[in-house]
A and B are shown apart, each in its own frame.
Chain A
Amino acid sequence: MNVTMQDSISIAANATNTNVITGQRYDRCPFDAIGNLFCTGSALGLTAELNIGGSSITPPTKVNAQNRLPVVPDDILTQEWEAPEGKLVQVSVVNTTAGALTFFWRIDLSEAGFEQ
């Protein structure tokens, strides 16, 4: 089974949004999954960081400035990360500029079995 979440959010100047996924249906992974994160910003100056269940997948990473919803696969930030069932998917976004910016994101989760 595959599930997808996609949205955009305004990030105020010099502000941090600790989790842009909050309130989404699959902010906790519904099954053991392999995930892909795609994102873009409305202009340069955003950084994004992915954590799964408190474990860091990426450090704060610069986001491209395509100013549109992500195109698959062009706007991939990190791919094929493991997301165990019930773990929190957390994407923290920081706006390093003096103006508000929009962060566009998409997460695909594909059901997978993990070897123990």
Chain B
Amino acid sequence: MAKVKCFRCSRTGVMFPDDYVEEWGRKYGIGLGPVPISEALTNTYHGEVAEAKDANKTMHPLGVCRAQVDLIEVEEEEFEANKAIIDLEDPDFNKRAAIMRDKQLQKSTKLAGMFPAEVSLAKTRIAERSKVKA
């Protein structure tokens, strides 16, 4: 099997293409300063739940994890399965916010308490996403 070089976020485990550091500030990391770090999003559970007009967008705030990225070599399939959605492809967070909210529904008792009917649906969606990856 073919192996590819990539940069892995040391906190979330998502993987970025091998030009991540070279293209820092151009394709990646815009607005994140001069030093390459992970632009992967994390959930900030200590932040209060922000109630949106659209209930599907009511959630804890998202943040950039800013963790270290490590250059690694992995199987191409593994890279594709863990490939990060980069900020340039999803500037409005439409794809990423939906994924992160499903995780929040599993981990935050406060959010789960607000939307009890959605917890199992979120669990199903998470399972479906991992099936697609597999």
Contacts and interface: CB of A to CB of B under 8 A. Distances in A.
B47 A10 contact: yes
Interface stretch (B6-14, B16-24, B52-60, B70-78): B52-60
Interface size of B as a range:
20 to 34
Dominant secondary structure of chain B at its interface with chain A: loop
Contacts of A65: 31-32, 64
A42 B48 contact: no
Interface in B23-54: 30-33, 41, 44, 47-54
Contacts of A101: 61-63
Interface string A59-73: 000101111000000
A42 B44 contact: yes
Tell me which of B51, B57, B61, B91 has the highest count of chain A C-beta atoms within 10 A of its own C-beta. B61
Interface of B: 30-33, 41, 44, 47-54, 57-64, 66, 87, 91-94, 96-98, 100-101
Interface of A: 8, 10-15, 42-45, 62, 64-67, 96-102
